[in-house]
Structure 1
């Protein structure tokens, strides 16, 4: 999200939405506003929790909703009158604080809500049924309070608690689980809905998967659908510089004596283990960098925190048992399942969550410089028996050991679809070849020119 690392106002306090959340003028630390919702003045993770009348409760199912101050399961119970829970029965609905059989009775809405036999004159006509449904429930859906925020959708301000911004289009939030799919919206707990490469598909069969923009359905996995400077001068910002003696970092010229790599607008020496560059932010460590890891532009503490990242966001969470990453979301395995960075509202027994996450290319230095890795472009994708079949075109190899050379530029790679990070057609990634001729995906998509050139330059310097 644009501006996610910039400071925003929450009352009279400044905060970063990539690290904290703002709810009614109160800052909640350690929970990014990119993935939270508000419960009164406290932020919470709506994937695993629910807010009922100002109380944060732990979900026991993705289909939980609030009934007054408590939760109820929408697939087995009804909530009537704002706090009365009844076991769900076929053809039954709410009338105020009680339920009734819609085949034999109706809910009369005179001065009070009363259950009457269907032949009573007060019974609504068929055309009135939809308009009276909410009134018969006896209560309106519980809504959380809005956030104090200054976010914009394009150039239009919007309230991220009540609205959601999808490709510069503002939509009303149906619930805290409302997410974007391109310019459209959907709810994570919806069944038979699949967001595939920014296109929302409805009424798809269960267990369908999106692979390379194509929807597949097991077990047969069949496709369902298919400024120039003056001559001789080099520019750095608004001034010229000598590239033999200086390095240009985001328009700022630095003497090469101070380092040979850019980190944002600063320059640093990558041989110095006490310096760590995290997505353009330079950190001066007080201990060896092996004890820390980048999570976006932040430093991750291994013992107490978990980094969940996708190609768009990297978010730090407090580590919890039975929780895993699904892209940049942190989910409870008893509520959700994750397949190729897509959350589904049905937990899968004995599923294998991803054991590793992709990283930005420069975060893989220096350990990848000592391995046989290569850059591969995804030319084609298919799904067969939960195996993702990938046709790779090798566009560059870092053969540090000089032991292996990939002679055939076309490789056929097989990954376990659900437990592997998502891949996209036409994108280039860093891959590692194992001794058994299997391959491991390592990096987020990389730029063919600048990223790969920098990776080569740094690794060959380390070889020297």
Structure 2
């Protein structure tokens, strides 16, 4: 196996020593990160959370008013009373979940109506839309002949009435009068999304799915926020540490203090030892996984806080969760931190989330959303309320690099960084810079570090500027996108290490 690089990039990582202490406390200045009815913690999809007295994973279940709904991730669900539902394809009206007939469907009391053809007056009265007609309390009226007066309840009067002249400035056309059920905007189009909430970036900031008040001095640290003027606060590898001594520094995930005590300021390391959680370890003989030290004899790779041997075909690591496949039949693959082994389920994934859904007819993935093709269309992992029956869609999904190893060891692949993207008609033109190539067949060496790739814009997943992906050149010499964005240290090392051993 030959390794080629177009930049002076050397992988020297033999093991990842990343240490972080448990949070003593965090800043909880969150504003509106409580989806209607959600009362389970949502600080990360890879860990267990609590719904009342029962633990659950938000990547595969939802918590609504203390009740768990299985099979639908809280990351894409809303609550209708005590039951979770998918707001893309369903709507909740007065506690009842209805199948959405259109993206323009809204609630009027317990019934659903289309805002393009009808109006809702008051709390539950639906009328067919007519030109120059508006709501007045529970009724509609013709604005060319009448007006709506409040005295004190809304009443329709002839335009010559005295109250009509006073009400003229206040009589506005609207399909939703006071008292109509509030509607929550769907996460589509130009709305900025934080978790499952829309937000105004001028007033709020999003930190890993959590909303905070925005200010020039407020910064994100993982899912928490802190102010630069805060004393004794240090952000280290996405973990917010409080009450640290002044002039402390974060080096390689470890907090170093002026007194040179490390490992959460409780243990002094001996010569040649590094920190692992609250203790020290020797990286020549042990490996540190999320603060837990393991003997290297048991494996060379971490999966969460556990260590495993990648040669063991019965072990599979899914986003930090280690699964034993000994008692499973058939092929199993990762869907985020869950294991997908049922053909009645499907995994929809984007660069931010992987969500498992129960399969339904005429439904397809759009990023990590699962949508009804009669309601929505998908273009480059973005939903639009304009269904297109004959539109192209991607028949595959991008996977994390770990899910592609060791299959990639038999192919000529390369890591390409997206330098820029341009759109022309229906084609997305991507300028790639080859930063690392793993070559198994010398006749396919990529000599030019700059590659121009043309993709069908809508049917291919979105590619972001500045991010690096794993690519393969097919038999026609055209680069094919394979993976989600990769980590240029851990991912390259893992691919090199596994493939090198496989070749040997």
Structure 2 counterpart of 1:79: 120
Structure 1 counterpart of 2:374: 334
Structure 1 residues 186-197: aligned runs within 5 Å = none
In the TM superposition, residue 126 of structure 1 has moved relative to its aligned partner by 3.1
* 1:403-428 alpha-carbon deviations (Å, 9 max, x no partner): 41111111111111111111111111
1:125 aligns with 2:164: no
Question: Counterpart of 2:355 in 1: which secondary structure?
Answer: strand
1:444 aligns with 2:471: no
In 2, Cα distance between equivalents of 1:384 and 1:180:
36
In the TM superposition, residue 232 of structure 1 has moved relative to its aligned partner by 4.3
Q: 1:390 aligns with which of 425, 430, 439?
A: 430
Structure 1 residues 125-274: aligned runs within 5 Å = 125-129=167-171, 137=177, 139-141=179-181, 227=251, 232-274=272-314
- CA 1:75–1:181 in structure 2 vs 1: closer, same or farther (change >3 Å)? farther
In 2, Cα distance between equivalents of 1:289 and 1:243:
37
CA contact (8 A) 2:272 2:282 kept: no
In 1, Cα distance between equivalents of 2:359 and 2:54:
27
- CA 1:181–1:119 in structure 2 vs 1: closer, same or farther (change >3 Å)? farther
CA contact (8 A) 2:59 2:338 kept: no
Tell me how many residue pairs correspond in the alignment: 399
- CA 1:38–1:233 in structure 2 vs 1: closer, same or farther (change >3 Å)? closer
Structure 1 counterpart of 2:156: 115
In 2, Cα distance between equivalents of 1:348 and 1:276:
38
Root-mean-square deviation (CA, aligned residues, Å) is 3.1
- CA 1:416–1:235 in structure 2 vs 1: closer, same or farther (change >3 Å)? same
- CA 1:183–1:346 in structure 2 vs 1: closer, same or farther (change >3 Å)? farther
Structure 1 counterpart of 2:449: 409
Structure 1 residues 243-392: aligned runs within 5 Å = 243-287=283-327, 291-392=331-432
Q: Which stretch shows the higher mean deviation, 412-421 or 16-25?
A: 16-25
1:3 aligns with 2:44: yes
1:55 aligns with 2:55: no
- CA 1:290–1:271 in structure 2 vs 1: closer, same or farther (change >3 Å)? farther
Is there any run of 5+ residues in structure 2 with no aligned partner, and where?
A: 1-41, 185-193, 215-250, 253-268
1:27 aligns with 2:68: yes
In the TM superposition, residue 37 of structure 1 has moved relative to its aligned partner by 0.9
CA contact (8 A) 1:166 1:183 kept: no
In 2, Cα distance between equivalents of 1:302 and 1:16:
18
CA contact (8 A) 1:308 1:330 kept: yes
CA contact (8 A) 2:273 2:283 kept: no
Question: Counterpart of 1:106 in 2: which secondary structure?
Answer: strand
In the TM superposition, residue 30 of structure 1 has moved relative to its aligned partner by 1.2
CA contact (8 A) 2:149 2:167 kept: no
- CA 1:289–1:61 in structure 2 vs 1: closer, same or farther (change >3 Å)? same
In the TM superposition, residue 54 of structure 1 has moved relative to its aligned partner by 1.4
TM-score (norm 1): 0.78
CA contact (8 A) 2:348 2:366 kept: yes
In 1, Cα distance between equivalents of 2:213 and 2:120:
33
In 2, Cα distance between equivalents of 1:80 and 1:122:
21
In the TM superposition, residue 168 of structure 1 has moved relative to its aligned partner by 11
Question: Counterpart of 2:346 in 1: which secondary structure?
Answer: strand
* 1:166-220 alpha-carbon deviations (Å, 9 max, x no partner): 779669xxxxxxx999999xxxxxxxxxxxxxxxxxxxxxxxxxxxxxxxxxxxx
- CA 1:447–1:69 in structure 2 vs 1: closer, same or farther (change >3 Å)? same
TM-score (norm 2): 0.72
Question: Counterpart of 1:248 in 2: which secondary structure?
Answer: strand
In 2, Cα distance between equivalents of 1:13 and 1:143:
30
In 2, Cα distance between equivalents of 1:402 and 1:7:
47
In the TM superposition, residue 11 of structure 1 has moved relative to its aligned partner by 2.9
CA contact (8 A) 1:276 1:289 kept: no
In 2, Cα distance between equivalents of 1:182 and 1:395:
36
In 2, Cα distance between equivalents of 1:305 and 1:85:
38
* 1:322-369 alpha-carbon deviations (Å, 9 max, x no partner): 111111111111111111111111112311122111111111112111
* 1:238-275 alpha-carbon deviations (Å, 9 max, x no partner): 54444343323233222222122211221111111110
Structure 2 counterpart of 1:191: none
1:101 aligns with 2:133: no
CA contact (8 A) 1:374 1:432 kept: yes
Question: Counterpart of 2:311 in 1: which secondary structure?
Answer: coil
- CA 1:180–1:389 in structure 2 vs 1: closer, same or farther (change >3 Å)? farther
Is there any run of 5+ residues in structure 1 with no aligned partner, and where?
A: 145-153, 155-159, 172-178, 185-226
* 1:14-50 alpha-carbon deviations (Å, 9 max, x no partner): 3322221122222111111111111121110000000
Structure 1 counterpart of 2:35: none
In 2, Cα distance between equivalents of 1:319 and 1:253:
41
Structure 2 counterpart of 1:434: 474
* 1:376-397 alpha-carbon deviations (Å, 9 max, x no partner): 0111110112111011111111
CA contact (8 A) 2:204 2:212 kept: no
CA contact (8 A) 2:148 2:171 kept: no
In 1, Cα distance between equivalents of 2:383 and 2:308:
39
In the TM superposition, residue 75 of structure 1 has moved relative to its aligned partner by 0.8
Q: Which stretch shows the higher mean deviation, 118-127 or 60-69?
A: 118-127
